[in-house]
Amino acid sequence: MDEEKIRQRLLDLKAEVSGRIRAIDRDIRHEGMTADWSEQASERENDEVLESLGNSSEAELAQIKAALLRLDEGIYFHCDECGTSIPEERLELLPFTAHCVACAEKIEA
């Protein structure tokens, strides 16, 4: 796998997730909220869902930043847990993963 392509993909993902976080933050702050009280109540009902999406996006952003750091340190292609090589197919599917399939399954169990 080409490290520069991986880096660019991670940077693109980072920009995408950062944009998503900014949009969620704007929605939670209710920027541009209408003056109608009933519409405001309806808009606020979604805050809990937005907050959950924001938290998931923040976690994803942290994983992307960690993957970029692992790439800089030369350890990107190896599992953080056991040190074995992470298969290319897994890295293509989850470019910010830090674990091989076996270790990921153990961690999630």
We report the CATH number of the domain holding residue 47 as 1.20.120.910
The domain total for the chain is 1
State pLDDT tens for residues 56-103. 999 999 999 999 999 999 999 999 999 999 999 999 999 999 999 999
Taking the C-alpha atoms of residue 73 and residue 66, their distance in angstroms, rounded to an integer, is 10
Per the structure, the complete domain to which residue 19 belongs is given by 3-108
State pLDDT tens for residues 5-14. 999 999 999 9
